[in-house]
Amino acid sequence: MSERIDLGPQGFIYPMPMTLVGADLPDRPNFMPVAWINRVQMNPPRLACGLNKHHATNAGIRDHGEFGVSIPSIDMVEATDWCGLVSANRAADKTAPFTVVRGTLAHAPMIAECPIALECRVVELFDLGTHELFIADIVATWTQPQYLDEDGKPDVLKMQPFVLTMPDNRYWSVGDYLGPAWSIGRDFQPPVALEE
Amino acid sequence: MSERIDLGPQGFIYPMPMTLVGADLPDRPNFMPVAWINRVQMNPPRLACGLNKHHATNAGIRDHGEFGVSIPSIDMVEATDWCGLVSANRAADKTAPFTVVRGTLAHAPMIAECPIALECRVVELFDLGTHELFIADIVATWTQPQYLDEDGKPDVLKMQPFVLTMPDNRYWSVGDYLGPAWSIGRDFQPPVALEE
């Protein structure tokens, strides 16, 4: 086995999901690309999202306690990336590439072109230092019938989400199906340690 | 555009990264498959991880304030899944498929066979209800030279991590390279709204 090396504290999780977080700003809705987001609890269903305090999105979420999480497909990669290159703080209208839709919450803007989108209500806000961690209940999961599999569940092959790797800063599609979770390991036999 | 439907609050982020969280239990180290994990802050580098309180792993992390996050490759999918099917609370030895390694922290067990692994020190623990959210500083990022690209950064094509989708419960590889982040959207031109 070759040498183990320490790259330092700036390690990442591989890979990270790409989303567009929607918030209502004073003048208009806004969408920000966010990869630092994930589920954190099963019941009630909750997610967590870490966002730098400087973003206009943070103020919008703080103002209303609500936000949307839209998951773009690979044909939206340029539009998604563009949203991370321009700033709502400098008057960019990040709704321009998209059709804004809403569900049951007043201030959780979502993107109609995205195959799936979550409506979220903030339950906790933790100050981490440079970033705020928003903990939110998921209150609805919006999709369309063409993105569902035969069991009525969202189908990653139909939604075609994409992922981000850092610090190389690259986008990737989802690849091959490897097997069923909580199942493919059933027949796995770990090596038996020999008694000395 | 077809009908929008609400699948209810059990929505997920697509896709989620698969990791093995390592913690020291009273009798031995333990590894638990965890997909609800991600970075949440750039500086100091921090991640967040939501774990059901019933897990033996939670007690181990609480006891020592340290844990490891090892990212398995696709050739470890069966071993990873097996770790989620057996329970340390029922005496399963989840170190059996792996070689345990440590870095600079006393209680952050990692897996030598994983292409990359993070050493983490807990800085906050938030009680979400059924789950605990561990916020941790990343103190080291262990890898091996064969997993780095020509710029010295971890290369997803060499590491071959995999992802999870829920509630369909399926594992997937990472697919095709789509383009550079904070770059591919530079030439994107959003449609110009016509003044009425």
- Quote the minimal CA–CA distance from B6 to chain A in Å: 5
Quote the mean pLDDT of chain A: 95
Asked if A53 reaches chain B (Cβ–Cβ under 8 Å), the answer is: no
Provide the phi-psi class of B9: left if phi over 0, else alpha when psi is between -120 and 50, else beta: alpha
DSSP classification of residue A182: T
Report CB contact under 8 Å: B16, A38: yes
- Pairing type for strands A16-17 and A19-24 reads unpaired
User: pTM here?
Assistant: 0.96
**pLDDT tens across B121-164, in order?**
999 999 999 999 999 999 999 999 999 999 999 999 999 999 99
Q: What percent of chain B has pLDDT over 90?
A: 92
Asked if A146 reaches chain B (Cβ–Cβ under 8 Å), the answer is: yes
**pLDDT tens across B47-91, in order?**
999 999 999 999 999 999 999 999 999 999 999 999 999 988 888
Asked if A36 reaches chain B (Cβ–Cβ under 8 Å), the answer is: yes
Cβ atoms of A110 and A102 closer than 8 Å: yes
**pLDDT tens across A6-16, in order?**
999 999 999 99
Residue A96: how many other CB atoms lie within 10 Å: 17
- Mutant choice from A2, A21, A28, A40 vs B, greatest count of B C-beta within 10 A: A40
* Closest CA relative to residue B1, chosen from A160, A66, A175, A143: A143
